[in-house]
Amino acid sequence: MGQKRIQANLYKRYSKEEAEKRIAAYREKVSKNLARETIYLQIIAENKTRNQTAYDNRKLVKAGEHESCKQRKRRLRKEYLAKKSETLRVN
């Protein structure tokens, strides 16, 4: 509704060609801003889901239902060294 008024004022102030040129430039600027805003909102949504997933995983680790990365690395290293020392004792 306000756009019609703004366009009417542009047509009054400038010639038809100049007014159309300014309106086209404004529409291009608006479309770029909307595209930028869309990308920004997508990034925010991705970060929000990533943070929520990390939070849920931390809760599961504290509850003892999951292993953290460090716990898994320590366990695998311990198993590897035990298997390695066992093969050395057999030989």
Mapping DSSP onto H, E and C, the string for 23-86 reads HHHHHHHHHHHHHHHHHHHHHHHHHHHHHHHHHHHHHHHHHCCCCCHHHHHHHHHHHHHHHHHH
The reply to whether 85 falls in a domain is: no
Q: Which domain holds residue 60?
A: 2-66
pLDDT per position as a tens digit, 4-53: 888 888 999 999 999 999 999 999 999 999 999 999 999 999 999 999 99
Q: How many domains are there within the chain?
A: 1
Where is pLDDT greater, at 71 or 91? 71
Average pLDDT estimate for 49-62: 95
86 confidence band (pLDDT: 50, 70, 90): confident
The reply to whether 14 falls in a domain is: yes
The reply to whether 41 falls in a domain is: yes
Compute the C-alpha angle 70/74/76, nearest 5°: 115
pLDDT for the residue 91: 65
pLDDT for the residue 45: 98
pLDDT for the residue 1: 46
